Chain A
Amino acid sequence: MRTPIAYFLILSGLLFAIGTVGVLVRRNALVIFMSIELQLNAVNLSLIAFSRQLGGVDGQVLAFFSIVVAAAEVVVGLAIIVAIFRKRASANVDDVSLLKW
């Protein structure tokens, strides 16, 4: 029996919401970053689910690009976190509020 496509979309929505809550609730920059990764993964799942529904592979190619961009984003983001840690000796986002109005 085939799984209805909506189940995958609901799972994707749940994971995306978990990632959103993680970004909003956690204060550790690394854990915030992991939550963003979870969000990206959730979106990939919905892309692939829709690609299956439409019967092509274009959605899968888009998900592939999204994985590549996520890899680049992680590299730059972690480098920024390391640079901030060198300066402030902290990975807590509340300590980095210089631009706060």
Chain B
Amino acid sequence: MDLLVFWIVAPISVGAGILMLLQRNAVHSALFLILSQFTLAVMFALLGAHFLAAAQVIVYAGAIMVLFLFVIMFLGVDRREALIEPLRGQRGLAIGLGALLVAVVFVAIRLGVGLATAPGPAPRGDNVEAVGRTLFTKYFFPFEVTSILLIVAAIAAMVLARRRARGVPDTEVFEEPEPEREVVP
């Protein structure tokens, strides 16, 4: 049953990833990425991480991708992505190196884990409770630090995306100050 679900969902996941790269329209890319993230949530559930499966759907497919779509709509869908390569042969080289990466990962997994190792038994009890207990005892300090990180990120986003006041040129910061004129006696 497990294996069947895996073999149904895994090709969808990889296919959605590849299709994401092939879309010329950024909105379509975002939609395929959402599909890929849903399939990953299924994978998390298969692995017994129910809390993270929910978090994946809510945080990634919900919040983050909506933010992405907002920005895409805000910037306007840019269809004229240049097909010229600034570096010649970059595209082919990139795909070749990607294939090499897959091969290396495959060999590493084969040597390290083995292809047929069955996972250990799922930890007993409620997954959400276990994650919460670990998070609020063993990892309490990092958890609090992430809250600071989120505040800093929110403020940084506001500062970065703020529109400058009217009348003040946007490039103000980067302009060199005018050299002082010599006073002619």
| A interface residues, Cβ below 8 angstroms from B | 1-11, 13-22, 24-28, 30-31, 33-35, 37-38, 41, 44-45, 48-49, 51-58, 60-61, 63-65, 67-76, 78-83, 85-87, 90-92, 94
Cβ of B161 < 8 Å from any Cβ of A?
Answer: yes
Tell me whether A76 and B64 are in contact (CB under 8 A).
Answer: no
Q: How far is it, in angstroms, between the C-alpha of A85 and the C-alpha of B76 when the chains are bound?
A: 10
Q: How far is it, in angstroms, between the C-alpha of A20 and the C-alpha of B26 when the chains are bound?
A: 17
| B interface residues, Cβ below 8 angstroms from A | 1-3, 6, 10, 13-14, 17-18, 20-21, 26, 29-30, 33, 36-37, 40, 43-44, 46-49, 51-52, 55-56, 59-60, 63-64, 67-68, 71-72, 74-75, 78, 81-82, 86, 90-91, 94-95, 97-99, 101-102, 105-106, 109-110, 113-123, 127, 130-131, 134-135, 138-139, 142, 146, 149-150, 152-154, 156-158, 160-161, 163, 170-171
Residues of chain A contacted by B40 (CB below 8 angstroms): 15, 41, 44-45
Tell me whether A92 and B105 are in contact (CB under 8 A).
Answer: no
Q: How far is it, in angstroms, between the C-alpha of A79 and the C-alpha of B68 when the chains are bound?
A: 11
**Measured between C-beta atoms, what is the minimum distance from B147 to chain A in Å?**
9
Residues of chain B contacted by A75 (CB below 8 angstroms): 67, 153-154, 156-157
Tell me whether B75 and A85 are in contact (CB under 8 A).
Answer: yes
- Contact A57/B71 with A17-B98, A80-B160, A92-B81 known, Cβ cut-off 8 Å: no
Q: Which residue of A lies closest to B174 (CB)?
A: A87
